Structure 1
Amino acid sequence: MRERLSAGVSRATARAAARQVASRVLTYPDDRLLDELGLLRSAVEAPGMLPDGTREPLAQVLEHIRATPLGEQQRQYVATFDLRKRCCLYLTWWAHGDTRNRGYALVGFKQAYRNAGMEPPRNELPDHLAVVLEFAAAGDPEAGEALLCEHRPGLELLRQALHKAASPYAGAVDAVCATLPHASADVAAAAQRIAAAGPPAELVGLEGAGPQPIQLQPYDPHRRGSEPFGTNLDGAVSR
């Protein structure tokens, strides 16, 4: 049975709330995330406040956060997203690997943020899924959704990899995909190609000719200088 949104809650607002919650739980866990847990759970548990297909998976992730000691959460996060390439949270990696084309794609993300009147995060790559979700939730919803849809094959592969690893974070990516249009046959075909061949590798003989391989790091929105857009969690998930 499809759940109806509460009166006065638009579909755009519901999508924004789900994406904001997903953004928070896909950040590196810290004390501030634990402090925000009550607000996040209230947004998820409020009847009719989230789109179909997002409430249960997000609730499962939040329950994991509630029940797991912070140190163990941090260990799991690093083991999942830092040590497993197939669980990469950086969207351009799936399409471009660590090639010069990835550098050009990152410029496109930065330009999308600046077109919306926002500066890209200073201490994080602009294609980190948590950053893109915050942009889609509280920045420019149309531009943010376009970035997510453009990189849908990578999102689908990330979702599959997290489920295969039995990761508690799988529900967050399930919810993200549930806020997007239905994946087309082209998306499925592109995902299959990446799964079979892996992301592209840099061409040989071009050392030093383009952007150097990028060192990945967990996205922490509370690290000094890395708050992407100065958004307010209360305003994003409680309106």
Structure 2
Amino acid sequence: MAGFFSKLMGKAGSATEPTPGASAPSFDTVVPGSTDPFDADLGQATEGQQVIYQVASVLMLYPDTEIQALIPELRQLAQEVGETPLVEAIDDVAHWYESAPMEDVAASYVQEYDLSRRHSFHLSYWTEGDTRRRGEALTRFKKMYRDSGMVTNLHGELPDYLPLVLEFTALVDSRAGRASLQAYRPSLELLRLALRDDNLAFHKLVECICDSLPGESPQTAQEIQKLARATPPAESVGLDPTDPRLLPLLQPAPVPSSLTEVSTRS
């Protein structure tokens, strides 16, 4: 398993060996004495969950021929760990790659995921929008990477970029990564609904991610709203206050300004 991940991402030795996770806790399970949802203890990822996170982190990147060439191996890996829904999700992405020339596939990716806010892969955007409060959320992700002791290359992305969070969860610290995914569960669920409603290829991938976390997935935006416990953002920039992407979230605890930067590899 670790050997395949190292070959896939060029991170030899960074994969962690997963252990069976804890029995499904509630959405708000946190370490005793802590109010920070990033401190939730959901257990480490199982082998199947680790595969879900790594496969999704690869397939949700900007499409190119190298990723397309990996799809048969990713499908085989999903089959080996018995993740049938993930096999189906991979097949959807494979069909998308095969539906048009690569330049057209890449252009559709840019349109749907880079230019369209409706399918943003940045977790805090769904909840904080373009508000000042978002900086605090991004800092919390940076702190998670810093606390892992690993040098994190953001590749020019914000630290809440979903493929990056998934890669960290699969290869570095599945316990911390799963806690961050669960903390931003409303974002994942809203993305899942948007992808489903627009019949896009990544829908089942995000569904697999949601299903790997504790608690049943809500079926409507109104139900997703109930997952959040904090007050709405005090300020919005360029978004209507009723926009579902401004859904109130379990707010990460503030961290010192000295932790606002994460080391990056050149």
> Shared fold by TM > 0.5?
yes
* Contact 2:210/2:217 (8 A) holds in 1: no
Matching of residue 129 in structure 1 with residue 129 in structure 2: no
Give the gaps of 5 or more residues in structure 2: 1-17, 21-45, 234-240, 248-263
Structure-2 separation of matches of 1:138 and 1:132: 10
Q: Which amino acid aligns with 1:76?
A: S
Structure-2 separation of matches of 1:189 and 1:107: 24
* Contact 2:49/2:212 (8 A) holds in 1: yes
Deviation per CA, 1:77-131: give whole Å up to 9, x if none.
1121123212111001111111121111111101101111123314111111100
1:17 aligns with 51
Q: Aligned pairs, how many? A: 194
* Contact 2:124/2:134 (8 A) holds in 1: yes
Deviation per CA, 1:161-190: give whole Å up to 9, x if none.
111111112121111112111247797234
Give the gaps of 5 or more residues in structure 1: 1-8, 202-224, 228-239
Deviates more, 1:68-77 or 1:23-32: 68-77
* Contact 1:153/1:188 (8 A) holds in 2: yes
Structure-2 separation of matches of 1:141 and 1:43: 19
Given the superposition, is the C-alpha separation of residues 226 and 98 from structure 1 closer, same or farther in structure 2, using an over 3 Å criterion? farther
Match of 2:112 among 57, 80, 84: 80
How big is the shift at 1:41? Answer: 2.1
Structure-1 separation of matches of 2:52 and 2:100: 22
Given the superposition, is the C-alpha separation of residues 84 and 190 from structure 1 closer, same or farther in structure 2, using an over 3 Å criterion? farther
Once the two structures are superposed, the pairs formed by residues 1-239 of structure 1 within 5 Å of their partners are: 12-46=46-80, 49-51=81-83, 53-120=85-152, 121-183=154-216, 188-190=224-226, 196-200=242-246
Identity rate, percent: 32
Query: TM-score if structure 2 supplies the norm length?
Result: 0.64
Supply the RMSD in Å over aligned alpha carbons: 3.0
Given the superposition, is the C-alpha separation of residues 86 and 24 from structure 1 closer, same or farther in structure 2, using an over 3 Å criterion? same
Q: Which amino acid aligns with 2:58?
A: R
Given the superposition, is the C-alpha separation of residues 164 and 184 from structure 1 closer, same or farther in structure 2, using an over 3 Å criterion? closer
Structure-1 separation of matches of 2:102 and 2:265: 21
Structure-2 separation of matches of 1:75 and 1:191: 34
